[in-house]
Every structure is written in C-alpha cells, then in structure tokens.
C-alpha cells in the first residue's frame, strides 16, 4: 500500500499557527513529504512533539501524536518505542527543548534507541520571547544577551557523534533535500537526529542579521558542514534488548520457597533480639538464617535492619521479634536479648544499652566489654566462637551461642535454616560452623 502526503500532513489543517516567515512550517512540510517516502502506514507512526512553537504542530498531522513536557520528548519517544517496538517514532523538538533535555538526547543516542529526533534549531526560545538557547551563536543578541552572547553554541550533530548514535545530519531548512534526509534518518536503524538550522522571524532574525548567506558563513566559521555527518551500524536498542535478554524469556518468575513448620514451636509468648555488629560481618544474612529458623519453628518473625549508606563500612544491626502470632511492632523499647559482635555495633546502640532494664541480657564478645548498661551482661569468650581465622562466621557462631542460651530457636531449626542458602559452598560453611558450635556447647 502506498501513502500520500495528506495521509500524514493534513492539508485541511493549514494554515500553520507560526509567525509570517517562520521556518517551522517548512520543516513540517518536509516531514509530511518524507513519511510517504518511507512508506510506513500513518497509524504505525507516532509523532512526539516537545514544548515551544515547534510543539504546537500536533493538529496538523494524521498519525498518532504525543505532546508532553518541555525537554522530555525523547523520553516519551523512548517509552513509546519500547512499549510498542513496531512503531516508527519521530520527535519534533526545538533548540530550547534540546537544551533542557540534553541529557535524554545524549543517552538515547548512546543507547542507540530506534527513534528519529528532528531538532528545529532557530537559535533561540521562540515561544517564550527570544531568550538565548544552547545553540545561540557567540556574540548574537537575544532578549537575555543584550550585549552579545558570551556563551558558545553547542553542536548537536557532534553530540550524537560522541554519544555514538548511529545517524546525524546537519541541514538548512531551505535545503530541497530536507525531505529525503528526514526519510533516510527514519529508515536508519538505531538513533538518528537532524540538526535543522532555522529562522525565527519574530525574535532571532529581528535582532541579528540572518539570511542564507549568514547561515552558511556561520557554518564555515565553526568549521561545520551540512549533510550526513554521522553514520554507524551499531545495533539498535530494541534488537540489543531482545538478544541480550532472550535467555531469560519463558523462565518462571521468582516466587520464593514456602517453608513448613518443621520444628516444634518454642513456648515463649514473645522474644526480641537485637544483633549489633559491623558491616562485612554478615549480620544481615545471619539474621536471616535466624529468622528462617523462627519460621521453620511455627513462629512469626520480623527483622528490621539498619546500616549506613556505605554498606561495606560502619555498623550493621538487625532487630528481630519472634512470637506465635503475627508481629505488629518492628521495634520495642527494651529487647530481651542483645548480641554485640563488633565495636561499631556496640557504639551505635550505646544509648539503648543505657536504657535497658535489668531483665534484658546482653551477650557480647569479651573484647567489647565493659558495657554501660543496667542489663545483665554475659561475655562470650573469644575462644568459644573462633571458628576460623577469617572471622566471617563470627556472627553465626555467636547466634548459635545465643540460641543455645535463650532457646529463641532450637539448634536443629538453626541448622535447617542455614542450609537453605542459595550457594552450596556457603551452606557447607554455615553447617560446619554450627556443627563445631554444637560440639563446643555440648562439651561445656
């Protein structure tokens, strides 16, 4: 099936709403001519328009139109393309929109998202009254650069090049080849952008001398040329996505493994445990073993972790509650048991230790004593938990000690919970630690 200009650019919608002599209309005309050359059906094309004079063009087009926020048109184009990869997606954006949304432009080019971006570059913000933009030439006069612009202009096609997008062209709005170049950009797989040099008759062209000769001189001065300036053959984003994630397709969703109540439920109404250690000591994962042991013992457990922003340094704490019915509060004033395995943990709960009642018990590695607390303190001798040199199992050894002393969970439940680690080697190491602790505790 072949299509005509009027299938895309609605003749009856004219005239355009632009100022007399504004070149935006010529770009819209060129886009209208380019689409039938590409031959894609109008209802398979989405036109995303940015904000600004160029953005008020939706009603002139017969394909799908999407008019979003200023500078974000490239994000919508990306979302449409990923949401429906069969769509051909074209963006109309001004130099203002390119400036505020430059980040998106850069990353769409880098990702090589299969969209075509037409930057309608008239060297200023038309709609808001002729303020300078990121492409305003050096020394040009605008509403915001009355003494001449001292900022330097950005080269849009160059940006595509450094970001490794597939296609970029620089072209004058009056170039009779404009429709062909647009068509070529749309056909090109991956990211494509056009830097279309334009004329804002209401502002920029009023304050600065501007005609074809001046535009071409500027090109020369900046050592730039028109025509296709970037062309690469990198795979487009959609294809890359499909290929790289093919292996995952069809795999079952991670649904977790339900646990049965394999062990008798301890008889207490509630116990709360606060583990205070150091990052890297595996506080969190060890607390998870203790938690799973609780679940396996028909208990409801909560585990609230805390650590600083940098996960490999500083304190790491886990506050846990075990009870036969669903737990509500995640924290209590006074934990029944506190387990301290490192200085960092001890220091971060200093104030809490001071406020503990005499009925609470603190288990702490010997070397971390004395503690400032009214609670009962039971030292854990270093020799009791020195399972291996690396000390990566110290928290698990201490948890085994605590479990044996308090009965929060049984040694059997702890052993069973330690097995469900995802990696066999970790599981083996945990079980060795627990077996050694069982033996030591039995000897005592």
What residues from 30 to 59 belong to the interface with ligand SF4 (CB under 6 A)?
53
Q: For Mg ion, which stretch binds (CB under 5 A), given 5-13, 21-29, 78-86, 95-103?
A: 95-103
Closest to other proteins by CB, 326 vs 370, is: 326
Rounded to a whole number of angstroms, the minimum distance from the CB of residue 89 to ligand TPP is 19
Under the binding rule (CB under 6 A), the answer on residue 403 touching ligand SF4 is no
Q: Are strands 271-278 and 361-365 parallel, antiparallel or unpaired?
A: unpaired
Closest to ligand SF4 by CB, 6 vs 211, is: 211
Rounded to a whole number of angstroms, the minimum distance from the CB of residue 196 to ligand TPP is 11
Is 389 exposed, middle or buried, given 0-12, 13-18 or 19+ CB atoms closer than 10 A? exposed
Under the binding rule (CB under 6 A), the answer on residue 126 touching ligand TPP is yes
Contact 174, 159 (CB under 8 A): no
Question: What distance in Å separates the CA atoms of residue 203 and residue 435, rounded to the nearest whole number?
Answer: 82
Task: Give me the half-sphere count of Cα atoms (radius 13 Å) on the Cβ side of residue 2.
Answer: 4
Residue window 200-229: x/- pattern of binding to ligand TPP, with contact defined by CB under 6 A: x-----------------------------
Torsion of CA 139, 145, 147, 148, to 10 degrees: 0
Q: For Mg ion, which stretch binds (CB under 5 A), given 82-90, 91-99, 157-165, 381-389?
A: 91-99
Question: What distance in Å separates the CA atoms of residue 238 and residue 124, rounded to the nearest whole number?
Answer: 34
- Rounded to 10 deg, the angle between the 283-296 and 394-406 helix axes is 40
Under the binding rule (CB under 8 A), the answer on residue 303 touching other proteins is yes
Under the binding rule (CB under 6 A), the answer on residue 95 touching ligand TPP is yes
Residue window 160-199: x/- pattern of binding to ligand TPP, with contact defined by CB under 6 A: ----------------------------------------
What residues from 122 to 181 belong to the interface with other proteins (CB under 8 A)?
none
- Token pair, residue 319, equals 């506050």
Question: What distance in Å separates the CA atoms of residue 340 and residue 380, rounded to the nearest whole number?
Answer: 9
Near ligand TPP by CB under 6 A: residue from 32, 36, 42, 96:
96
Length of the chain: 444
What is the SS3 assignment for 76?
A: helix
Rg over CA atoms, the chain: 34
- CA dihedral sign, ordered 327, 328, 331, 334: negative
Under the binding rule (CB under 6 A), the answer on residue 81 touching ligand TPP is no
Q: Are strands 227-231 and 167-172 parallel, antiparallel or unpaired?
A: antiparallel
Under the binding rule (CB under 8 A), the answer on residue 261 touching other proteins is yes
What residues from 93 to 132 belong to the interface with other proteins (CB under 8 A)?
103-104, 106-107
Site of interaction with ligand SF4 (CB under 6 A)? 18-19, 22, 24, 53, 122, 126-127, 200-203
Instruction: Provide the binding-site residues for ligand TPP, judged by CB under 6 A.
Output: 51-54, 70, 94-97, 120, 122, 125-128, 133, 200
């Amino acid at each position: 099936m072949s299509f005509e200009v009027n299938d895309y650019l609605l003749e009856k919608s004219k005239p355009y709403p632009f100022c007399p002599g504004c070149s935006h209309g010529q770009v819209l005309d060129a886009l209208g001519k380019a689409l039938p050359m590409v031959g894609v059906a109008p209802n398979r094309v989405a036109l995303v328009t940015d904000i600004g004079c160029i953005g008020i063009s939706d009603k002139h087009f017969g394909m799908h139109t999407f008019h979003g926020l200023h500078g974000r048109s490239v994000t919508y184009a990306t979302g449409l393309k990923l949401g429906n990869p069969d769509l051909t997606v074209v963006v109309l954006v001004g130099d203002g929109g390119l400036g505020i949304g430059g980040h998106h432009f850069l990353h769409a080019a880098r990702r090589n998202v299969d969209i075509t971006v037409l930057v309608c570059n008239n060297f200023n913000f038309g709609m808001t009254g002729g303020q300078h933009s990121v492409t305003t030439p050096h020394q040009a006069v605008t509403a915001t650069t009355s003494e001449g612009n001292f900022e330097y202009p950005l080269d849009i096609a160059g940006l595509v090049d450094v970001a490794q997008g597939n296609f970029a062209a620089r072209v004058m709005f009056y170039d009779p080849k404009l429709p062909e170049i647009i068509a070529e950009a749309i056909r090109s797989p991956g990211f494509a952008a056009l830097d279309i040099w334009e004329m804002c008759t209401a502002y920029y062209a009023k304050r600065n001398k501007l005609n074809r000769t001046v535009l071409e001189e500027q090109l020369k001065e900046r050592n730039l040329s028109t025509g296709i300036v970037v062309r690469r053959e990198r795979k487009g984003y959609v294809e890359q996505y499909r290929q790289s994630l093919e292996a995952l397709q069809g795999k079952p969703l991670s649904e977790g493994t339900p646990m049965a109540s394999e062990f008798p439920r301890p008889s207490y109404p509630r116990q709360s445990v606060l583990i205070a250690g150091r990052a890297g000591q595996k506080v969190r994962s060890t607390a998870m073993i203790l938690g799973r042991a609780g679940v396996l013992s028909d208990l409801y457990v909560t585990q609230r972790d805390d650590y600083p922003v940098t996960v490999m340094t500083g304190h790491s704490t886990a506050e846990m509650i075990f009870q036969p019915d669903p737990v509500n509060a995640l924290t209590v004033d006074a934990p029944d048991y506190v387990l301290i395995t490192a200085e960092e943990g001890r220091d971060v709960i200093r104030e809490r230790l001071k406020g503990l009642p005499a009925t609470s018990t603190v288990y702490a590695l010997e070397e971390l004593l004395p503690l400032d607390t009214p609670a009962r303190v039971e030292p854990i001798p270093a020799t009791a938990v020195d399972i291996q040199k690396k000390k990566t199992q110290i928290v698990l050894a201490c948890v085994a000690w605590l479990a044996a002393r308090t009965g929060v969970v049984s040694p059997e439940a702890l052993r069973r919970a330690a097995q469900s680690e995802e990696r066999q080697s970790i599981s083996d190491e945990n079980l060795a630690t627990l077996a050694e602790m069982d033996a030591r505790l039995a000897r005592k």
